[in-house]
Amino acid sequence: MARKSIALFVTTLCILSVVALGAKKSTDRLILALRKRILATVVEELSVKGLDINLPDSSHRLPLAEAVRSRDVRAVMALLEQGALARCHEPGSGTTPLHLAFQFNLPNIARALLAHGADPNAKDRSGVPARKLVPLSSSTTRGSSSSTARGNISELISLYDTRGSMAFESAPGSWLKEDRPGGSTYYWSPSTRESRWTPPPSCAWQRVTIQGHPVRYINTVTGQQLTSLPPALSWTRLRSETDNGSQLLWYNWAVQVSSTATPAELPPDMLAQLAVQVNVRWYNPTTGQYSYTDPVYSTPWRELTDEATSRPYYFNVDTRESLWEAPEELCWVKMEISDTSGAGEGEGEGDRAMRGSVGVGSWAARQYFYNRRSGEVSWTAPASGPLAFVPYASEL
């Protein structure tokens, strides 16, 4: 009886699986419209509820790859805006849409794919990366000489090698965001008149904070990860004085643009934090440099805790180097003086060194700086590192 029940259960599961598989919307009509280059039908198919545009059709063709083959950048963008994965590989050949864009000399389409996370180093089934498919022929493609297109694509590859997908993002402040009833979000670009329901790459950055690890910034569209603040998130809140009174502005110091509109690039947690920090910046008296980011990030070194030993260690987010001893930038500490008379009980090594170097008469100052590695003491802050900056609040 038990065996019959198990057999019946397995059979039922198989039937349900087949039904579920059959219930998935086919991409056959979408790919047919792409191959015929009928954009209106493409848009109509993309609106079909439940359609997964990353599924191949019955002939194992991927919608985004077929959109590239159609050489219509509008069709490519329509799919990308609906969530098509730029890093997808065609079944069988392993070809990516970027392979096709490079092969066909389509720099505009290649740029759109790179902006959405396509990787020129991705290989097809034969092991050939997309970057190796830039044509060398002198044929023409859609009115552009092959040499010109090849030059454009070479420039795209160079940009990617320098900054990754971030190189192709819209400039900060390019997009506006509106939250609609029902939880949906609408994005609109006043300069290009583009609109979309999914976040453009510049609006897809998230800050990830995990205890014991450096802060990371991850783009949920492209997959790019950074340990330094991307330009898209380099916003601060300022109060500007005008003839008509004060005005609150958002200022992006990475590209030096300001806006009265709330930046669409900021995720909710960063927006809430920055909205209450008005005119917050730091100043380095030695170099005359201003900074809108916490001075702790003025150096690539981060102090972390080793999970196994609970000991502090130091990690360089640029070079990935780890040290048990503090690097020079983090050796300096600010000391508060608690005893202004003579040498008191509990006086630290730094206190004794400073008292001996300046004498009791100068002991009225309430703080000094001590280097834990060299034993050096100073009344002035170091020229570099987190302690080099002091808070600087002023109306702008």
pLDDT in tens, 265-308: 999 999 999 988 888 888 888 888 888 887 777 788 888 888 88
Same domain, 70 and 153: yes
166 band by pLDDT with thresholds 50, 70 and 90: very high
Residue 205: predicted pLDDT: 98
Same domain, 114 and 37: yes
The pLDDT of residue 363 is above 50: no
Kindly state the percentage of the chain with pLDDT values over 70. Answer: 81
Same domain, 148 and 79: yes
Domain endpoint, select from 230, 248, 277: 277
**Greater model confidence, 20 or 202:** 202
Residue 382: predicted pLDDT: 84
The mean pLDDT of 154-167, rounded to a whole number, is 96
Residue 106: predicted pLDDT: 96
Same domain, 41 and 151: yes
The mean pLDDT of 326-338, rounded to a whole number, is 82
Same domain, 53 and 150: yes
Q: What is the CATH number of the domain that holds 78?
A: 1.25.40.20
Question: Which range has highest mean pLDDT (61-75, 349-363, 364-378)?
Answer: 61-75
User: How far apart (Å, rounded) are the C-alpha atoms in residues 220 and 201?
Assistant: 8
Asked whether 381 and 369 are in contact (CB, 8 A), the reply is yes
Structural domain contains residue 87: yes
Structural domain contains residue 2: no
Structural domain contains residue 287: no
351 band by pLDDT with thresholds 50, 70 and 90: low
Same domain, 200 and 320: no
Residue 396: predicted pLDDT: 53
Lowest mean pLDDT among 44-53, 136-145, 157-166, 198-207: 136-145
Same domain, 137 and 36: yes
Structural domain contains residue 10: no
Q: Which value, in Å, is the radius of gyration of the alpha carbons in the chain?
A: 29
Residue 146: predicted pLDDT: 52
pLDDT in tens, 89-135: 999 899 999 999 999 999 999 999 999 999 999 999 999 999 998 76
Domain endpoint, select from 165, 194, 209: 165
148 band by pLDDT with thresholds 50, 70 and 90: low
Number of domains in the chain: 3
Residue 112: predicted pLDDT: 97
The pLDDT of residue 1 is above 50: no
Residue 141: predicted pLDDT: 47
The mean pLDDT of 217-243, rounded to a whole number, is 91
SS in 3 state form for the chain?
CHHHHHHHHHHHHHHHHHHHHHHCCCCHHHHHHHHHCCHHHHHHHHCCCCCCCCCCCCCCCCHHHHHHHCCCHHHHHHHHHCCCCCCCCCCCCCCCHHHHHHHCCCHHHHHHHHHCCCCCCCECCCCCEHHHHCCCCCCEECCEEHHHHHHHHHHHHHHHHHHHHHHHCCCCCCCEEEECCCCCEEEECCCCCCEECCCCHHHCEEEECCCCCCCEEEECCCCCEECCCCHHHCEEEEEEEECCEEEEEEEECCCCEEECCCCCCCCHHHHHHHHCCECCCEEECCCCEEECCCHHHHCCEEEEECCCCCCEEEEECCCCCEECCCCHHHHEEEEECCCCCCCCCCCCHHHHHHHHHHCHHHCCCCEEEEECCCCCEECCCCCCCHHHCEECCCCC
The residue length of the chain stands at 396
The pLDDT of residue 55 is above 90: yes
Residue 19: predicted pLDDT: 41
Same domain, 230 and 302: no
The mean pLDDT of 327-344, rounded to a whole number, is 70
Structural domain contains residue 15: no
Total Cβ atoms within 10 A of residue 135: 16
Same domain, 336 and 206: no
- Residues contacting residue 319 through CB under 8 Å, at least 6 positions apart: 300
Structural domain contains residue 1: no
In 3D space, the residue among 159, 185, 166, 192 whose CA is nearest the CA of residue 255 turns out to be 166
Domain range for 369 is: 297-391
Same domain, 223 and 311: no
Domain endpoint, select from 165, 187, 211: 165
Structural domain contains residue 291: no
The mean pLDDT of 353-377, rounded to a whole number, is 66
pLDDT in tens, 176-188: 999 888 778 899 9
Mean pLDDT computed over every residue of the chain: 83
375 band by pLDDT with thresholds 50, 70 and 90: confident
**Greater model confidence, 361 or 377:** 377
15 band by pLDDT with thresholds 50, 70 and 90: very low
Same domain, 190 and 159: no
Same domain, 382 and 301: yes
22 band by pLDDT with thresholds 50, 70 and 90: very low
Residue 277: predicted pLDDT: 85
220 band by pLDDT with thresholds 50, 70 and 90: very high
Residue 138: predicted pLDDT: 39
236 band by pLDDT with thresholds 50, 70 and 90: very high
Structural domain contains residue 5: no
